[in-house]
Structure 1
Amino acid sequence: MQKIINYIFILVVLVYSSGCDNNFDELNTNKVSATSIDPVFQLNAAIVGCAYPNGSLVYDIGIVQQIVTPNSGLVSGANYNQDNRTLTQELWQGYYRNVIKNTRDVINQTEDNPSRANLKNMTRIVQAFAFMVLTDDYGSIPYFEGGKGYSDQIYLPVYDSQEAIYEDLIKELTEATAALDLSGTMESADILYGGDLNKWKSFGYSLLLRAGMRLSKVDPVTAAQVVQVAVQGGVILTNDDNAKINHDPNYTNPIGNFLNATEASNFYLTEPFVDYLRNRNDPRLSAIAVTYVGAKSGPEQTAANETYDASIHVGMPMGNDNAGAVSAASALGLASFYEFAQADRRRVTKNTAPNFLVTASQNYLLMAEARERGWISSGSVEEYYNAGVRAHMNQLGTVDEGSVISTSEIDQYLEQNPFEASMAMEQINTQYWISSFLNGPEAFANFRRSGYPELTPNPYPGRDVEFINRLTYPNSEISVNSENVQAAISAQGADNLETKVWWDK
């Protein structure tokens, strides 16, 4: 009897198990989870990923002496001209993980799909932008094999020379921009230009102009040819067409978020930057800066004691640690170093401020230099120069209505600070420095390329170098991809802040 009961029990279990297994796969399949994604949304992810990280504030923007902090620790970098690989790696990791990984995948997905050819070429342009930023900051980088871990299982990519990278960047930008087909599929879901291919073409040719100008020292013949193609193709010439990432409360500007959180009272406009603007009665100083009069601490930096008055703004001298900043503030008659001028975090560095990638102002100024060099024949140097200054002043008003500069103020500035042909290169590239405010990688790149503005080396006594010429590689690369990193170092030079990139001669 017990055996019969046992057999019945086993039979019941088997029947029940069989019943549970019936339609098991169907029951355990998530019918609402996406199994694929339209690649245009991956392009959007790549575009958002191009926003400059906090490391760009500490290094790129600090190197060109626009914003600096007296503090050490996590935020030490260009304030002391010292290597801090926790921050020099941010751009590298962010761009490879969030930009290049996505652009590589989109290009692979659309390679053999003629109906998505425009998407492929838009993506090639974004990828070229990201690689240009990376190589300009670091020099030799994984380019031809970079970002191919998923598609080709290349986990230890070879590093390529900047010379080889620029040759291919110019090819990519030339081909991709020319191949955009106005009669082809309109990718209206893209967040940069809503599928407007005319604007995408202007973006591509603007990057080509930038790439050509990078070669001004090392290969002026090629530089002139590339610049001519870019200008003839049509670059961005209005603020409405600026290539920018629009941020909102859900997708905040990384630097804006940083400066409105724990670091709100730790970063200040520098003395060289403030003095240059104030000494020329530049209305941009009032549009950019805020001073909290009498503030003795961060909590005392309130709207009640803020002023935009340019005559009140005092920039923080370079080369100070925390104690030095206290002494410098006292010597200047300030209540504390919290009374030094800041980039206004309620206007230009608010959480939702756009992140500008390429602007009309920058293009006008590059064209002014190209005209000065005789590389283009249309227009005059002075016309391009004035248009560049005017475009940047108007651009500030698109960030926040509190930063609007009137036409009469712009006219007065240009009248009081006229273009002088004998100082063309200095004036053009110093204006480019101002125009690229908060666009750290571009300001840093053009400063090295042009040599302007003429900045005094950071005087901090414990500095590693007088001027930082490049960022150092991430420790993760050194430890994991060591063979290829060492090959790059052997060809390029020591992995330190002093080694120059190829085009910086």
Structure 2
Amino acid sequence: MKLNTIKRTAICVSLLAAVSCTDNFEEINTNPNGITTQLLEQDFNHIKGLFGPMLNNILVLTPEWKYQVQQGLQADIWSGYMATGTAFRGGTNNTTYDLVDGWNGFAWGAAYGDVMSNAYEIEQKAKGKYDQFYALSLIIKVEGMHRVTDTYGPIVYSKFGTTDPIIAYDSQEEVYNLMFKELDIAVAELTKRVDANEVSSFATTDLSSYKGDYKQWVKFANSLRLRLAMRIVKKNPTLAKTEAEKAIAHKFGVFTTNSDLFKVVSPVYTNPIATISGAWGDVRMSADMESIMGGYNDPRLAAFFDTSVQFPGQYKGVRSGIEIAAKADHVDFSGIGGVVRSKEMVLMTTAEVYFLRSEGALRGWNMGGDDQGLYESGITSSFGQHAVSGAAAYIADNVKTAKAYVDPNFPANNGVALNNVTVAWNAVATNEVKLQKIITQKWIAGFPEGQEAWSDYRRTGYPKLLPVLKNTSGGKIDSNLGVRRVNFVQSEKDGNAGGVATGLAKLGGADTGGTRLWWDTLGGNF
């Protein structure tokens, strides 16, 4: 995280401590090899060195077990993307809805120890002086921290960096409003620099696929705005429409080609899912993926998954939330495939943006296209991203639907097909059916990034997922509704109890995995 090797996460065990650490940045950053501040400031190295840890910890790249507890045993499971045949903690864990505090703090710790803290330091060093870096840090901060508020609900945001004895939480509504304003600042600043033909000084240290290209960063900011706008559509439809149309109307617009998609490219580390699935055998294709993609005979299956060792030539998934006697029972089902065997972590796809626009058009917003055309462009974009042929025939299929799930080893895990929509667009279908098609295809195209898929499932109820068969939540989480959020973290309860109390008051419900977030409202989608 630092220009030397000291990690703030090793120093600050709670958010309160993490904030207090901001008072001695220079002391912590003193390089024992004698590099002076003047040398570090040449070519902005005292600022640029802070971006790598931000980008590398939106999703933790190493060690792999940290990713596993940050997201692998949370959103990747709850989204219906993956399942585990490993009986962690005797089979009583996040996958069976007994949320493990010892796991669930890692998403918080990575965000505050590496994303939020470095964004704060960049703000102190760059705002009003080197605003191009401040603007870039805001975009990365929003990308990293919206995931945190979408996991926990109220979080520390506006008060981060203060020395107050109690660090108050912002409500999720307040966080979203601040994020929209931060994207405004970033887009305006970087657009101005593109218009001036400024050569980026961020290229050599930009670990994203953009390599310092300001115009691409603006497109990402606009696309991110569109994602956040859609998230709040049921809670504040007026603001959602305004923000979404603002993203589309900007002269640089949003993602339109696969070269636009946003990914972190590590010079060293392979996507941690490759190890968790391949070397450890801890995650497998989910039963939901087998049911939906298998039912559609989706050509992308081979890009996403390996065929089963136990059942050669077949794609076999594991149902989540089942009784597990031994890891060997399902370890020879389908592992996660070539999509994770690279040094890339894709955090936002062009396909997602087309599906967001399709949903917006379905709602009557000005999205620069009609709902059907944008929907079909989303599918085509996903096929292109994975170099898979057959998109046109897939788009035209109005027969195939999801298939029933069969566990050939344990029939008690079988499940009926729930997601009963075809791929082909139907202009006379209800808006609800059209939305189900959009979100189902968006869910497929987003694999393997489970955070966004989990959020979409909570917001819309789509795609329809198989309920867990083993629920160890003690009644806190409904088996049919799934996990809605993660409990506030123990380090905060120990070190910032007063702040947690403000968060609980703004949550509006019990501090359990069954309490809905602000944007996760009851009722229909229209």
TM-score, with length taken from structure 2: 0.78
Please say if 1:503 is aligned against 2:484: no
Letter in 2 for 1:477: E
- Please name the residue that 2:407 is paired with: none
Please say if 1:342 is aligned against 2:335: yes
1:185 and 1:141 map into 2 onto residues whose CA distance is: 36
- Please name the residue that 1:468 is paired with: 483
Please say if 1:479 is aligned against 2:494: yes
1:171 and 1:38 map into 2 onto residues whose CA distance is: 26
- Please name the residue that 1:435 is paired with: 445
Q: Is the Cα–Cα contact under 8 Å of residues 449 and 503 in structure 1 kept in the other structure?
A: yes
The Cα RMSD (Å) is 2.2
Q: Is the Cα–Cα contact under 8 Å of residues 308 and 316 in structure 2 kept in the other structure?
A: no
Structure 2: give runs of 5+ residues left out of the alignment: 1-30, 61-66, 398-422, 522-526
- Please name the residue that 2:463 is paired with: 453
- Please name the residue that 1:223 is paired with: 240
Q: Is the Cα–Cα contact under 8 Å of residues 84 and 320 in structure 2 kept in the other structure?
A: no
1:348 and 1:34 map into 2 onto residues whose CA distance is: 43
1:110 and 1:185 map into 2 onto residues whose CA distance is: 18
Q: Residue 377 of structure 1: CA displacement?
A: 5.3
Aligned counterpart for 1:268 among listed residues 284, 288, 291: 284
Number of aligned positions between the proteins:
433
Q: Residue 112 of structure 1: CA displacement?
A: 2.6
Q: Judging changes above 3 Å, is the alpha-carbon distance between structure 1 residues 355 and 34 closer, same or farther for their aligned structure 2 residues? A: farther
Please say if 1:62 is aligned against 2:77: yes
Please state whether the residue corresponding to 2:320 is helix, strand or coil.
Answer: coil
Q: Judging changes above 3 Å, is the alpha-carbon distance between structure 1 residues 392 and 246 closer, same or farther for their aligned structure 2 residues? A: same
Letter in 1 for 2:50: Q
- Please name the residue that 2:408 is paired with: none
Superposition map of 1:85-484 within 5 A: 85-113=101-129, 116-146=130-160, 148=161, 152-153=162-163, 156-180=166-190, 181-182=193-194, 183=196, 184=198, 186-187=200-201, 188-189=203-204, 190-192=206-208, 193-233=210-250, 234-248=253-267, 250-261=268-279, 264-294=280-310, 309=313, 312-323=314-325, 336-344=329-337, 347-350=338-341, 352-376=342-366, 378-396=368-386, 404-406=387-389, 409-416=390-397, 417-421=423-427, 422=429, 423-464=433-474, 465=477, 466=479, 467-484=482-499
Measured against aligned partners, the alpha-carbon deviations of 1:121-170 in whole angstroms (never above 9, x if no partner) come to 11111111112111011100000122x2xxx4457521110011111111
Structure 1: give runs of 5+ residues left out of the alignment: 1-28, 296-306, 327-335, 397-403
Q: Is the Cα–Cα contact under 8 Å of residues 276 and 282 in structure 2 kept in the other structure?
A: no
Q: Residue 475 of structure 1: CA displacement?
A: 0.9
2:139 and 2:46 map into 1 onto residues whose CA distance is: 19
Q: Residue 293 of structure 1: CA displacement?
A: 2.7
Please state whether the residue corresponding to 1:501 is helix, strand or coil.
Answer: coil
Measured against aligned partners, the alpha-carbon deviations of 1:421-463 in whole angstroms (never above 9, x if no partner) come to 3121000011111122121211111111122112232121434
Q: Which protein shows a greater Rg?
A: 1
Letter in 2 for 1:61: D
1:76 and 1:362 map into 2 onto residues whose CA distance is: 34
Q: Judging changes above 3 Å, is the alpha-carbon distance between structure 1 residues 368 and 289 closer, same or farther for their aligned structure 2 residues? A: same
Please state whether the residue corresponding to 2:263 is helix, strand or coil.
Answer: strand
Q: Residue 410 of structure 1: CA displacement?
A: 1.7
1:163 and 1:255 map into 2 onto residues whose CA distance is: 32
- Please name the residue that 1:43 is paired with: 51
Letter in 2 for 1:253: N
Q: Is the Cα–Cα contact under 8 Å of residues 174 and 205 in structure 1 kept in the other structure?
A: no
1:475 and 1:256 map into 2 onto residues whose CA distance is: 30
Measured against aligned partners, the alpha-carbon deviations of 1:183-229 in whole angstroms (never above 9, x if no partner) come to 24512232222221110110110111011111110010111011000
Deviates more, 1:367-376 or 1:172-181: 172-181
Q: Residue 368 of structure 1: CA displacement?
A: 0.1
TM-score, with length taken from structure 1: 0.81
Please state whether the residue corresponding to 2:318 is helix, strand or coil.
Answer: coil
Q: Is the Cα–Cα contact under 8 Å of residues 71 and 321 in structure 1 kept in the other structure?
A: no
Q: Is the Cα–Cα contact under 8 Å of residues 248 and 367 in structure 2 kept in the other structure?
A: no
Q: Is the Cα–Cα contact under 8 Å of residues 110 and 117 in structure 1 kept in the other structure?
A: yes
Letter in 1 for 2:214: L
Paired-residue identity, %: 25
1:338 and 1:483 map into 2 onto residues whose CA distance is: 45
2:128 and 2:367 map into 1 onto residues whose CA distance is: 40
Q: Judging changes above 3 Å, is the alpha-carbon distance between structure 1 residues 485 and 30 closer, same or farther for their aligned structure 2 residues? A: closer
Please state whether the residue corresponding to 1:225 is helix, strand or coil.
Answer: helix
Q: Is the Cα–Cα contact under 8 Å of residues 256 and 353 in structure 1 kept in the other structure?
A: no
1:410 and 1:315 map into 2 onto residues whose CA distance is: 24
